[in-house]
Chain A
Amino acid sequence: MPRLDKVTQIPKPEQIFFFKSCVASNKYPGIESCGWESLKILGVEPVDSDEQTCCGGFVTFANVAAPTASMPAVARNLSLAEEKNLDTCVLCNGCWTFLNEFGHFMNHNEEVKASVNMMMNMMGREYKGTSNVYHIAEMFYRLKDDIAKNVKRPLKGVKVATHYGCHYLGGGKYTAIDDAQMPTYMEELIEILGGTVVPYTANRECCGTGFTQIINGKDLSLEHTQHKLDSVQEADPDLLIVQCPYCHSQLDRVQQQLNYRQGANYQTPVIHIAQLIGLGLGLPVPKLAFAAHISGRQRLEEVLDRIGR
């Protein structure tokens, strides 16, 4: 059950700072365009900035950068939103947990904040700690009434399974809007759009990316993902919904890798929650950018045929 007290704390702003994600920009552009367009339809105007870089989570957890290097990078990205006096909306669980945790750490350690600000002042910026960071799925859940009013393409008869992603629910044990072990808000959103939720056993398991394990611990990573994919295939959903582009890339690309190397046959389309909302709100098909998806392309086309293009 979602924590309703947390949900009501999320504001319904007129404008929001749209924090772009690396994977969503370079691998699955549909996530970026759908997030942007659906927020607009729901009455929240997204604002972006060219100066926004990667959140720095990857290089930090790859141990290439120590926290001393990533703390100012987080402060710099958050200060872009503060300059505009807006809250931040992120597309990726990684960005969410990284900006939130390191922002929280700076806000509660005056010494760290002061030394970070020393560096920020050298580039003419200041970190105050006033911008809240919200995940786009949280925003959608907050705006669910507006979504219900604007459904143009109901997902009638489409079987949908969910994958939440560890860094939102696990890392945000106290800050996330839902329970870490039994989350349900994505299921609610799916039902609002008219889809059917399919449960499967490995729902709460990690996608297996393991931040860097997919690069230097491939055996562990692939084994874990295969376990997850087997469970998904057993439930046989039409779509697997994720809320993190990094999980998206892992679950989509590993299917192809396993088919290519081991002769398996995994064909489950994976799409991001922003794309699902975009689909329901009736965005034109090129905006959804399903051409960038690798696994289950045929099945995606079938779903589109069934619910109307």
Chain B
Amino acid sequence: MLEQVKDWDDDFYEKFKPIAMGFVNEAEKCLQCGKCTGQCPAAAVTPSYNPRKIIRDLVNGNLKRVLSSVELWQCFFCSGCFSVCPMDINFPFFVFMFRLAAMNEGYGWEDVKQLEGYAEKDYLRKGITVSTFERNPEVVETIGDISKIRMEAGLPPERKVSDRGLAEINMISDLSGMTSFMKKIGGVELLDCKTCNDEQAKRCKTKPLPSKVGKIKTKLRFYNYGEPGGKAHAEA
């Protein structure tokens, strides 16, 4: 991405702090030692992902480079960087708040769109985020019916959250603006091998990434921190 002088903002960090609800702090203490990058599982497979550089850009105020980068969406949230940091900077929270800021600027909606279904169909309707659905037909063949296994283990065939519990999390979601945010994102279809028909199975194998999300046109992201990594790239 071509950088311009106006992309830099000396006060960016100070402005960002209150917006980030107390999750982004102490970044000015960063020693730039690079321990975070050294042990990072994402950096191990994508050399361009670099937590140290992202913190540097946050403090120096290069807002655009951070928010428009592909790297921002490659964090594994393993908290390894926090565990080795000599200054106790909790970087995973930074990434989490940066992603919200990037969405505000129009980046990365296509990634979040793929995850919205889990919140809408599983978390809000059943109260359980990971449901019994499978996407690998071999897994279904191997284990068969999960409710039968649950019964053999002495549990009820299906774990159910009570109606009051469901009503309460839906109320929290409505009041806190999560529901309206989810409507803006829009969701992709979640397929289940057990109930899937042939046409759906065909689509499952060749599923393209969504480029437009609801009414929001997502912007292109760039590898702003060097050459992208990954096995595919190493071979090319």
Instruction: Compute the total of residue contacts between A and B using a CB distance below 8 Å.
Output: 224
Q: Is the CB of B129 within 8 A of A58?
A: yes
Whether B197 sits at the interface, judged by CB under 8 Å, is no
Complex Cα–Cα for A291 and B139 (A): 12
Complex Cα–Cα for A219 and B92 (A): 21
Whether B32 sits at the interface, judged by CB under 8 Å, is no
Q: Is the CB of A59 within 8 A of B164?
A: no
Q: Is the CB of A216 within 8 A of B115?
A: yes
Listed stretches B51-59, B72-80, B218-226; interface member: B72-80
Complex Cα–Cα for A257 and B135 (A): 10
Is the interface on chain A under 10, 10 to 19, 20 to 34, or 35 or more residues?
Answer: 35 or more
Which secondary structure dominates where chain B touches chain A?
helix
Listed stretches A1-9, A166-174, A192-200, A234-242; interface member: A166-174
Complex Cα–Cα for A191 and B80 (A): 27
Known: A29-B146, A64-B181, A292-B143. A59 touches B231 (CB 8 A): no
Is the interface on chain B under 10, 10 to 19, 20 to 34, or 35 or more residues?
Answer: 35 or more
Q: With a CB–CB cut-off of 8 A, which chain B residues contact A220?
A: 42, 45-46, 74, 230
Q: Is the CB of B176 within 8 A of A25?
A: no
Whether B177 sits at the interface, judged by CB under 8 Å, is yes
Q: Is the CB of A62 within 8 A of B44?
A: no
Whether B23 sits at the interface, judged by CB under 8 Å, is yes
- Using a CB–CB cutoff of 8 Å, the interface residues on chain A facing chain B are 20, 22-23, 25-27, 29-30, 32-33, 50-54, 56, 58-69, 72-73, 76, 97, 105, 109, 119, 122-123, 166-167, 169-171, 173, 180-181, 205-206, 208-213, 215-217, 219-220, 223-224, 227, 249, 253, 256-257, 260, 286-289, 291-294, 297
* Nearest 8 pairs of A and B residues by beta carbon: A210-B76, A170-B79, A166-B78, A69-B178, A53-B127, A51-B165, A22-B130, A62-B115
8 further contact pairs, Cβ within 8 A, besides A26-B146, A64-B112, A171-B79: A54-B128, A59-B115, A173-B82, A173-B83, A208-B41, A217-B74, A253-B139, A291-B144
